Structure 1
Amino acid sequence: MPRRALIIGGTRFIGRHTVEEFQAADYDVTIFNRGTHENPFGDDVGHVEGDRTEEGQLRLAAERVDPDVVVDCVAYHPRDVRVACEVFADVDAYVYISSGASYGAEHIPKREDDTPLHDCTAEQATDDSAETYGPRKAEGDRAVFAAAEQGVNAMAVRPPVVYGPHDYTERFDYWIDRVDTHDRIVVPGDGTNLWHLVYVGDVASALRVVAEEGTPGEAYNVGDGHAPTLGEWVELVADACDTDIEPVFASARELAAVDLDLTDFPIYRPALHLLETAKLRALGWRATPHQETLAATVADHRASDRTGRENGPDRATTERLLDVLETV
């Protein structure tokens, strides 16, 4: 009899790939969500409709599915994690998707057992803003650790920014769109900005590996095997698009000439962000090479209506900047 996996979420991005990962490993998969997004799986995947923030509905899903493994893709507040750890206290593995944003210190690299997490106030714990995302995820981690001390098989996986097919955030799509449609690409700074990313399929495989091989009460970073700088990413995307481009690097002072800031561009982060992934690799997990991840990501971008253009400066503004730079 196949093992049963319950994916909380499961239809949009990380959850969608997680469903496919567990299916490929011969699990009987059910998703639990509100049904507000199209279900891409049809009858191949079970579906329990409900609101995960309602404890009674979560308990009903647990009773109906009786899962061996639970992967929580949509726990955005500490209370969500605490309740889930109570509801699924007897499963073989409860895996919470945390975030690299949970780290509260700018260490290079960030290590699970050494780098401090964000503190989280009571006000932050119930907030929904982007500013409190890291503290809320960190408090969810602490809920996992506390549950494990009580005998719950709870673990956390911490990805940084995720890219790949079906990425509704469109952060990475911004750069694919630029590279795929223009030959001169404005890159903020000198191109050495580094923000560790991770391919969505590798997050999904990490979730399964941690569910099967992880240790309760532990957190595991996941990230690409190589962490390119932003300048390198632009070149890698150009290779995947099979096009020639000219990166044009623009300093903060040069960007200011057209009222832009370095952080107006997606995947630019003032401080270097690198996650150590040795702990996850020790479980047998391996990252997919960029040649494969970018081929799949570019193909999906071209087949979709995503452009990512709302995530960064519009082309008219960057054209003005290019004109300014040519006169300097």
Structure 2
Amino acid sequence: MTLDLTADPIALTRALVDIESVSGNERELADQVEAAVRALGRFEVLRDGQAVLARTNTGKPRRILLAGHLDTVPTADNVPSTVDGDRMYGCGTSDMKSGVALMLHAAAVLAEPAYDLTLVFYDCEEIESDRNGLGRISRTLRDWLDCDFGIVLEPTSGQIEGGCQGTLRAVVRTTGTRAHSARSWLGSNAIHAAAEILTRLSAYQPRVVPIEGCTYREGLNAVNITGGVAGNIVPDECVVTVNYRFAPDRDEKAAAAHVKEVFDGFDVEITDSAPSAPPGLSAPAAQAFVRAIGGTPVAKYGWTDVGRLATLGIPAVNFGPGDPNTAHKRDEYVEMPKITTAAEALVRFLAG
């Protein structure tokens, strides 16, 4: 098959969903996207692994970057797509092939946009961070990301979501002395010692932080606990894994310091973190985008690659037709009228 970029964005979404592209298996879809964008004849196109990059170079005073990942989580008997009423069901309908369809649709119908455009279709967003295609591009093809404003087409139900929370994971350890459980007084139970960790978490009061009109709610939660050796042994180690979602007024270093302060007196190891991103709404192009889309921007709960762009000094927001609450589910879906509305709004903004 060949992607028809001039098709209705709903039909284009369905065509994209029907090309299975679980993380690490994006080649077929990337081939189709590359061929379709090259055929437009207006873009400089570069293939990088399973990512496709395209840009215009017409000398416009401002450049807008549109970014979307091609991969999905593993399918769950939900490819090919199906339609029921106003809903299109299928893996990636929400996260985020409906957003990718908007990018392709805009590239096809806008012969003379008001901005120079950069399109980044990248791989491996749904798996470990060190394989993320946008991260790879930021390291090896940094100049391709230069722009005045970025839009990541993640699912937002058609509203603008500013910035994103940062995320940090840490393990908090307790130690004790192993002993036979029949002679427990000879040991020290590390699981019992973890009760203080859970007490601190239960009493923790997360911050609510307003930034540029967006309200970010933080959270610090235990997400896993492991300990124990056997049914007749007093354990000598217990590990509580915690996840901290932090507002954009804290960077990764400050977030790590905060978590270590909360668990002062315990062995704390930071195992993973990703940066937060400010709302990105003060740039002139961002303000024009808000006017074109309408509504009031809200905070993004969760981490997206807007955070990656923010570390490069690029203001960016999240905007896509999918419902984030259905992402990754067996019955993942997108409301088709929202594809139409979002596509019209994006084209209206880019047309100036």
Q: Same fold by TM-score, threshold 0.5 exceeded?
A: no
| Structure that is richer in helix per residue | 1
Greater Cα radius of gyration, structure 1 or 2: 2
Tell me the TM-score normalised to structure 1 length.
0.29
Greater strand proportion:
2
